Each structure stands twice: as structure tokens, then as C-alpha cells.
Structure 1
């Protein structure tokens, strides 16, 4: 999922990312087999038997909404209750919040073979601001870092097995090309709740200045110039920051870059894999961002992503626009500002295009699976019991616990459905809905379970959030790559190529936008990436895409 993907957020988002939904819900939003079937009866019986396990170590990136409330996920209501139910005490290991530092700790953990029992990461991702295994999940299995789960799920995870049997497309997404299942996945099933990120703008500033909602890059330029020059925050100072976009926000499903038809990584154009940062259109994007930066429209701090700094700029009414998550952005700031500045109104903006009337191609819309999952490490001495423990989340009782928290504390049952309590949906001033819910669950970002559409529709409590779902759903997302995976032979080469290329392109992105590197050197930059082996990486992705389509 930054959080920006972090909320996605980042990008853990971001970055993990970084994430919302369930399909085929029963009355209470669960994904159980219909009552009365023998499979359901068997699963219910097995579900009621806690695993014979006393403790687990669990590595997982933290989230800003949780870290602002507690030191560890062990303090979260959901995990406290899960310990009572299963008898399993979990010792959580959280890396730093920022993705580069988290990835560094992850790499060290893998290299030293100092493995916890469970490792939750973005195993299925091959690029982006997330913590991932270089070379992909099949390599992690072949490197003997994590366990292949197919047989274990078939024998000991009746709840997840039922879901995968009922949704073969989900099984396709969580498997490698070789057919290996490597993690208990975070899943979203319903189209309408796979959309949760996009451009956002201060509608109250637009109204004050008599401006219409921008839909093209040129219209955005006009609006941002007005934000800078016409004092929309009304304090008599020229202190407005028209827009904040950092590297992670540029990269997360191309909220502005997509106007040129490209993204910041691999994409497909009618089945042909391409790489966005070497396309001619990328130069045009960089030229525009360089112009915005030189004219003071793009926040000068964009080169050093910092969530706390972003929050401060938004909540002190300095910032006019950004790209944000629906819950961890629009919803969060609405909650934080409702008493402080009642006129504050951050809303979704359409994904911009170059020509008025064009349909946006790029936008954020997740697949049912986004690559995030909990894998069992080879150091785990109780893999069967760990599988049973993880499987609890995919049953009826686990559905309620992981989506809603604790009955009577964070939700109540009404007419067979879980309803979030007012304390969650209308928290005190200074606390966002996401932060209030984070005391009980991880449902507002990700975890190994199926996110319920019933939860999501309640969580998006503000009208601005409901409208955002409609606005951000407009792009065709036809060029988005599915979660393809390289083969074992390809994985090491691909990881080596992409790691070096992404490091270089990130460096040059900042230099081009800030004017440290003149855009006249763009062709030299492309040749450099070509010399680093990008065509080999594209061929690997092309082959992986073709294999994925044959799964």
C-alpha cells in the first residue's frame, strides 16, 4: 500500500503502501461459505479450535496512524483480543517508518538469516515505494527464507482455502508463475472500494478565488499560480505552498505524470511492456515540474519526503493541493481541522489530462491483491500452527475482529451487520478517524485478511470521501501492470538491474526538477539507463506478463 503511500498509502505505504475491500460478503461482511454447507460446518469447527502455539515473532512495517497511538501492534485492540482467543502472544518487530530505512533493515535481516516466525512485506511487488524481497517471492522460497504454503493451506487453512476456491482470480494473483503461494494475503474484493488515492485540492481556496476545479495540466498551472499570489489563506502573507508532491507521490499510480500517458515504472501498452522514465513524454513531464519548482509552485521540500512536515503544512493552512489517500488524507485532515478551521475543505480532484475532455488513462485502482502478505519464515518451528493462527482472520469471527475490532468497544451489531461506534467515526478534535480506528484494527491500511466493503463504506464517513471514490474511479487504468513475477533464473538479474536503475532515476528526477541537471541532458540520462540494462529488465517483465496471462 506512501503512504502517502504510506497511508497507501506511501507508499508503505506507502508505502505500503498501500489499501480496501471485500467481495461476496455475507450479512456481516464476512467471506464465509454460505451457512448450511458441509464445508462451512467443517471450517466453523476448525475455526473454533485455537492453534496449539504460545508465541510468535512477527516482522511488519508500522503505520503512522498506529505509531501515533501506540508503540507496537501488540497494544492494538485486535491483537490483544486475538491473543485471548488463540493463546498466542506475538512479539512484533517494527522497522523505521520511512521505506528506505525499513528496506535496509529488511535486507539486513535476510542477509544475516536472523528471521522471525512471520514476515509481512510486499512480496508480490517488483517496484515502487514498498518493502519487498529482491527478486520476488519465488526467489525467497528458493533461497530458503520463506515457506511455500500450498499444501499447508490445503490441509490447515480451511477459511482461506474456501475463499481461493470461490475466487480463482484471487488465487491467480497471490500465486507465482510456478504456482507457489508464498503469503497469507491482504485482499480487496469489490471494485468500488479498490480506489482510495488521487489528487486533492482545497475547494475552499478555489471558491474564495473564484476558480474552477482544474482538469488539465494547464488549468492546474493557473490555479497554482493563483494560490501562490492571491493569499487564499487570508493571513496577509505570501506564505502559501501551492502543491506538495514528493517522489513517492509522483510514483504512486502517476497522479500527475499520468497526464502524459506514462508512469514511473513498468507499464503495458496493448500488451507491450514499456518503461515510463525513459519515454519522450517523461521529458515533457520533467519540464513541467521544473517550471513549477522554479516558480515556487511545487513545495521546495519535495525532495525529502516527510509525513509529519506534510501534516503540519496542511493543518496550518499553508498547503493548497497534494496527492492523498482518501482515509489517511481527505478523511484525516477533515477530522483534524473540523474545529480548528471549519471552512477547511480538502476534496478530490480529477486525475489531470493534457487536453480538455480527454479520458484519464492513469489512476489508482488496486487489484484484489496488491502484493502485501504475511509469509512464514523457514526459521519458524511451528509452521502448521502458525498457518492455523493466520487462517483465523479469513473466517467469520476473524472477519469481524480484523475489520471492526472489539464488539462493544469499536463496533456493535445491528440487523446482522457490524456498525462502527460513534467514538470511531466521530473522534475528538485533533484525532482523525484513521487514528481512532487504529487503536483497534489495521483495517484502514493493510493486514493479512479480507477488507470488508461494509467497513469501507462506513469508514469513508465524510461526503468528500464518498465523492472522491466517484472522481478517482474515472481513469481507465488500462496500462497498469498486474503483479507479475520473474522466474528464479530471472529474479536475481532483474533485482540487480532494477535496484540500480531506480536509484539512478530517483536521483535524476530530483536533479531535473530542481534544475541541478539541465533537461538538455535528458538524452544522456536515457542512454545511461539503457547502458544499465533497462531493455533486459523490460524483456523480463514482458515474459512475466505473458506468463501471468497464461496462469
Structure 2
């Protein structure tokens, strides 16, 4: 059996990751005695190399060039350091939710399951009560000193990673700095604005006038009326609340001074739909907005057709700029401020997230025969050494230290035959997510262009005062909530397209509201209100 030196198993800057034996549900061997982690190490045999099964979605930036997380530098190095051989199980890209629902019903589960656990039917607390994953509070206290230290030092983060009942259900993805909380918003072609001698639009009326001017001009110079002024889909309504937020509501639940409301039944939502319907009729909104996926969107941006849409700092502004730099002269994408209805109105909505959001965490399943050892393995990522590995990779391979600053190599920053986002994802998890603490210094380089740095500042302007924190319904509430919202969301999404495209007259908005009320939306609002009040008491 391969021997791993004790020196390699030390987490720098915090506490030692003590010698352990990790066993997967399918591997042979006996679990380490409960007191083995606290035994003296001098005369102890090195840990045995055993298997660990790990279920996780394959990020698109990784999937572009690699077949598995196991091919990434970060996990190859992690195996060298810990002696733990991990077999990753990836559902097909785009089928994560369906595959999760199939997988989680089984009895022999993977040892570690990384998922957005707020999406589990009934929520993460229900997953614990269903005996699918284990409650980690005591295990973290005893076997994950690095994560424990971070949560104890950041009580607001700790508040976010636990349920109302106080359960910690997974090793979380934590954004380690407020600088990392905003990376998505509306972007537009500054070079097209300049050609028309137009100012950056600030109000809804400004946008109407700007989009109209774009529609009437052959800005890509091909002699065809193929310019698309704006692409906004219902998918853009979720995170960025693009244009919808201008009216003070969102596409889901929000709170107004502590009172929970449901955005898509408010009068302000009708105002938004009325504007979008007008823009659609006049050809200002992409006629294919309802069926344009990410690949088609990419083609419209890089094909010199699209003026404005929602995108991110990295895979949007940075990626597109890189892809077209030798193809489209003067191409310049910049962030646009979130618009207001009237000049001087308060901007209340952006895509700002929380340090922990979406419930994305690596949970330890009940099939795992040695959760304590697995917790120690996961805890390595929260050490000083682990943070460097997950954010920057291996020194000399994906980064080098320059005046004490971890600087990505040219292979990452200026790759050939792939985007920077894809090159980075070959080595680290910094530019998507995972069970570790994301480092601000990653974004300072990932968003290296002036336009990218400006985007973070511009998209951070709104107060987000109406945004709900990451609340969780109780397991009893969850099944009722899920039952209501499955029907409501299906109907809401269907009607979003119909109202904008004119297939459903806006005169029927009140009828639409009554239909959603008949589905039980007020009961769902009460559940969210109770969840908010419990969250505030955590």
C-alpha cells in the first residue's frame, strides 16, 4: 500500500489534518477507531490509500476540456497531499436535477454529494430526517477545525449555512469577500453607443429611445437589418432581476420592510410586462427571447448582432471580449447601470448574492462508513494551504508568487484554443463553486479588464434592501411549499412568455393573479414569512 508522509497531511496555518483511513461505501477495510484522530502520530502507520465516491455536477467550464473533476490539477494534487483516491460521479451536463432526484432515492449513495440542498424536496433538514445525509455539527466541531474556525470567526456566514433548526448539512461554498458577491448584470456594446453618439441609458425611457435607435441603424455594417437591440429571458429575471427590478419587485418572493410578498402578482409586475410587451411588438426585444439558450446567445454576441443582454463579469464581458478581439474592430462590452423608472429613483435590485447562497454544499451521505475521516478530508480545503490550492492550484503550474501575491500563469491568463474561464477551470474551482472559501485575489485577476472591474462597481450600486436572505422552510412546511410552487412556477413561466409576446392580453392580468391565488400562493407567502422570522432569530 502506498505510503503518504505525515508532512503532506498538514493544513498550513491552522491545525494538523491528523492521520486517517478513508473508506468508501464500496471499499474494503475497517473504519478507523473513533479515537484514532487524537492518537499520537510519532509511531503510527501512515494512512492507507482508500477510495471515496463523490457525486457532483460537472461545471460547464470544466466539461469544455476535461471529462471529470479528477482530471483537474486541484484534485490530482489533493490526492498527493492526502492519500485519498476520489472517484467522481458526474451527471450529464444539463440533467443535474433529474439525475440527483434519481440518485437520492437509492439506498447505496455516494460517500459525498455536492448539491444545492435548498433544492432537495423538503429542504436540507428534510434530507437529514430522510436519512440521506448526516447532520454535521458535532463532526465539524471535532474533525473539521479549519471550517469551524472560519464559521466561529464569521457568525453571519454560520447563520447562512445552517437550517432554522440549527443543522449544518454540508461543507459550504463561501465567498470570502464582499467583492465577490456581485458578478452579473446588464451589459451593452459601448462602441455602438459611441457610433450613435448616445449616452449610457439610465431610465426605462432612456432605454426605449436607445434600443429604438439601435434597431434603426446598421451598426454591424453588413447591410442587413439583423441587429438585436435587447435579449432578456425569464432566466435573466431570477438572478439579475434585469429591468424587472426597476419596478421594485422581483420574479419570486421578496420582502418590503419585513413583509414577504410574491413579485409576479404585484401591480408593478404588470407595469414591467406592459413595457416588455411594447418593446417586443416594436422589435426592440429579441423575437426569439423565449427559445434562445446560452449557445445561441453566445452566437448572437460573437456574431456582432446583439447590443444588450444579461451576462457575468468573467464568462460574459471577459470571455466575449477575448473571443472577438481579432474579429470585430472596436468591440467594447461594458456594464450598464440597473435602470430606474424615473431619474433619481432608488435602485433596489441587483444580482448580489450572499457569502453562502443556493445551499451549495458537499454533504456526507448516510452510506458513508467513515464520516469523521471524510470530514477531515473535506476540511483540508478550508485550511490556508487548501484555500491556496482550490483558488490558485499548484505553484509553478497554474500560479507563481509575485511579491507575495499568487499570480496566475500565462497558460491560465492567456491560453490558446480556449477561453480564460476554461483554462482556469482545468486547475481550480475558483471561477465556479465548491466546498472551499473563494479568494478575492482570484477575481482581481479573472476580472482583469478595466471594463470588468467597472462592472463589479456598477452592478453593486443597488441597495438590494428587498432581497430575502437564504431562508429555509421546515421539513413540514417544505412539502406543502413545494407542492404549491411547482404549479405556480410552471404557470408563471408560461404566462411570462405569453404576456410579453401578446399571446395573452395584458387585460387578463387580474385573471392570471386570481389563478395563482387559487393555487395557494398566499399559503406559500405565509411559509416564507415564517421562514424569514425564524432566520432573523437564528
Q: Does 1:396 align with 2:384?
A: yes
Q: Does 1:460 align with 2:456?
A: no
Larger radius of gyration: 2
The Cα offsets for residues 266-289 of structure 1, whole Å up to 9 and x where unpaired, read as 001100000001101111111111
Matches within 5 A, 1:103-502: 103-113=97-107, 115-124=109-118, 132-370=119-357, 371-428=359-416, 431-502=418-489
Helix, strand or coil at the partner of 2:288: helix
Change (3 A) 1:213 1:421: same
Which is worse superposed, 523-532 or 115-124?
115-124
State the 1:388 CA deviation.
Answer: 1.2
With over 3 angstroms needed to count, the CA separation of the structure-2 counterparts of 1:43 and 1:165, relative to structure 1, is: farther
Partner residue, 1:75: 71
Aligned counterparts of 2:105 and 2:283: Cα–Cα separation in 1: 43
TM-superposition CA deviations, 1:300-353 (whole Å, max 9, x none): 232134111111111111111111111111111111112222411111000111
SS of 2:229 mapped into structure 1? coil
State how far apart, in whole Å, the 1-side matches of 2:430 and 2:47 are.
23
Deviation at 1:509, TM superposition (A): 0.9
Q: Aligned equivalents of 1:217 and 1:94: distance in 2?
A: 43
CA shift for structure 1 position 111: 3.1
* TM-score normalized with structure 2 length: 0.90
| Cα displacement string for residues 18-67 of structure 1 (whole angstroms, at most 9, x for unaligned residues) | xxxxxxxxxxxxxx99x6xxxx3x34667999975622222222222111
Structure 1 distance, partners of 2:16, 2:502, is 61
What is residue 28 of structure 1 aligned with on the other side?
A: none
Would you say the 8 A contact 1:199–1:321 is kept in 2? Answer: yes
Matched with 1:25 is none
1:102 Cα deviation after fit:
2.4
For residues 317 and 51 of structure 1, the distance between their equivalents in structure 2, rounded to whole angstroms, comes to 57
TM-score norm. by structure 1 comes to 0.88
| 1:59/1:120 contact within 8 Å kept | yes
Bigger shift: residues 488-497 or 333-342: 333-342
2:19–2:47 contact (8 Å) kept in structure 1: no
Moved more, 457-466 or 189-198: 189-198
Does the aligned pair in 1 maintain the 2:270–2:509 contact within 8 Å?
A: yes
Runs of 4+ in 1 over 4 A off after TM superposition: 44-53
The 3 A distance-change label for structure 1 pair 46 and 333 is farther
Q: Look up the match of 1:129.
A: none
Partner-residue secondary structure (3-state), 2:231 = coil
Provide closer, same or farther for how the CA distance between residues 329 and 139 of structure 1 changes in structure 2, counting only shifts above 3 A: same
**Greater CA drift, 78-87 or 502-511:** 78-87
Residue aligning to 1:57? 53
Q: CA deviation at 1:376?
A: 1.2
How far is the alpha carbon of 1:416 from its aligned partner? 2.9
Compare 522-531 and 407-416 and name the one that shifted more. Answer: 407-416
User: Unaligned stretches of 5+ in structure 1?
Assistant: 1-31, 125-131
Alpha carbons of structure 1 residues 205 and 137: separation in structure 2 relative to 1, 3 Å: same
Match for residue 19 of structure 1? none
SS at match of 1:243: strand
Aligned partner of 2:525 in structure 1 is 538
Superimposed CA distance per residue, residues 493-516 of structure 1 (whole angstroms, 9 cap, x where no aligned partner) = 111111221111111111111211
- CA-to-aligned-CA distance 1:214-273 (integer Å, 9 cap, x gap): 111111111112222201111111111111122211221312100000000000110000
| Distance change (3 Å), C-alpha of 1:120 and 1:108 | same
Is contact 1:72–1:94 with CA below 8 Å preserved after alignment?
yes
Q: How far apart in 1 are the matches of 2:501 and 2:114?
A: 36
- Structure 2 runs not aligned, ≥5 long: 1-10, 21-36
User: C-alpha distance in 2, partners of 1:62/1:322?
Assistant: 26
Report the counterpart of residue 34 of structure 2 in structure 1: none
CA contact (8 A) 1:52 1:385 kept: no
Q: Is residue 260–residue 528 contact of structure 2 (8 Å, CA) maintained in 1? A: yes
CA contact (8 A) 2:17 2:376 kept: no
Residues 344-380 of structure 1 show CA distances to partners (whole Å, capped at 9, x for unaligned) of: 1111000111011222100111111112111111122
Query: SS of the residue aligned with 2:215?
Result: helix
* SS of alignment partner, residue 324 of structure 1: strand
1:157-196 deviation line (CA, Å, top 9, x unaligned): 1110110111111111101111000010000132222111
Q: Quote how far apart the aligned CAs of 1:87 are.
A: 2.3
Secondary structure (helix, strand or coil) at the match of 1:391 reads helix
Distance 1:117 1:45, change over 3 A: closer
- Map Cα deviations across residues 97-119 of structure 1 (whole Å, 9 max, x no partner): 33xx3222222222344532222
What's the C-alpha RMSD, in Å, of the aligned pairs?
A: 1.9
Deviation at 1:413, TM superposition (A): 1.5
Q: Bigger shift: 500-509 or 53-62? A: 53-62
How far apart in 1 are the matches of 2:467 and 2:19?
39
The separation in 2 between residues aligned to 1:43 and 1:305, in whole angstroms, is 50
Q: Secondary structure at the match of 2:395?
A: coil
3-state DSSP of counterpart to 1:284: helix
